[in-house]
Amino acid sequence: MGVLNVTPDSFYDGGRYLTSDAAWARLRRIAGEGAAICDVGAESTRPGAEPVPPEEQQRRLGGLLAAMRDGGSPVAVSIDTTRSAVAEAALDAGAVMVNDTSAGRDDPAMLPLVAERGVAICLMHRRAEARAMQRDPGYGNVVSEVRDDLGRRVEVAVARGVRADRIVLDPGIGFGKTLDHNLRLLAGLGELRALGTPILVGVSRKSMFDRLLGRDVDERLPASLGAALAAVSRGADVVRAHDVAPTVDALAAWSAVERVA
């Protein structure tokens, strides 16, 4: 899953793709580099970020969604939003998935919308909204608590009409977690697999690598690739990445070894 942030303030690529031409070129590049899906967002979800009203998200996305409606998309598109109005606009333009970092909590209309459209949804674990999520997060057993919380969100989604086979789960690496929590979640992905749904993991260039290795955001690609391979080896089905081509190559090499092992 390649990342396309149509935002001025995302932690890595904020401001790069604000125009419709730049966003469309990025979408085409993500497709050309081998991603299976492109995750498009118009609101930064980094820790400390301010919420963006749905109307502003739709304004930022307007040119890209118009291009998708006019000519289709070269890759399947996921819309990264917690707001049903934004999701609906993207689905109308051809998106096939909603990536909801609130797991359907922020907007009560989100799960019914996904159910009505029959599209996929990724439900992510987080403890609080972006502005507060990193204020001393605590867990007794982070893996079991995240597993149980996501299991409850699956039950809620299904109760509201979402098909179970359209649900993907994300443990929310970096969302209300310390470095130790993040590492334990990556090591314990097998427990999340027990829920019976595909698992998505996003570790790309995250601040955990500053804490682990002292690397600035521009120096985190090797660590991102290492963590992505560790996640896949433990059961992750989808890897969300800013650097599509290197991630595709790393996964291809890992898979080749696994096939002959």
- The tally of CA atoms less than 13 A away on the side-chain side of residue 149 is 19
Is-catalytic flag, 177?
no
Is-catalytic flag, 240?
yes
Q: Please state, in angstroms and rounded to a whole number, the distance separating the CA atoms of residues 163 and 76.
A: 19
Compute the C-alpha angle 11/16/17, nearest 5°: 115
Q: Please state, in angstroms and rounded to a whole number, the distance separating the CA atoms of residues 38 and 96.
A: 10
Residues contacting residue 135 through CB under 8 Å, at least 6 positions apart? 128
Please state, as a whole number, how many other Cβ atoms lie within 10 Å of the Cβ of residue 233.
12
Region label for 217, one of left (φ > 0), alpha (ψ between -120 and 50) or beta (otherwise): alpha
Q: Which of 234, 235, 174, 236 is nearest to 205 (CA)?
A: 174
Helices (H), the chain: 20-32, 54-71, 84-92, 110-117, 142-159, 179-187, 189-193, 208-213, 221-233, 244-260
Of the candidates 166, 206, 220, 234, the residue annotated as catalytic is 206
Strands 120-124 and 2-5: unpaired
- DSSP per residue, 148-190: HHHHHHHHHHHHTT--GGGEEEE--TTSS--HHHHHHHHHTHH
Q: Which sequence positions are flagged as catalytic?
A: 206, 240
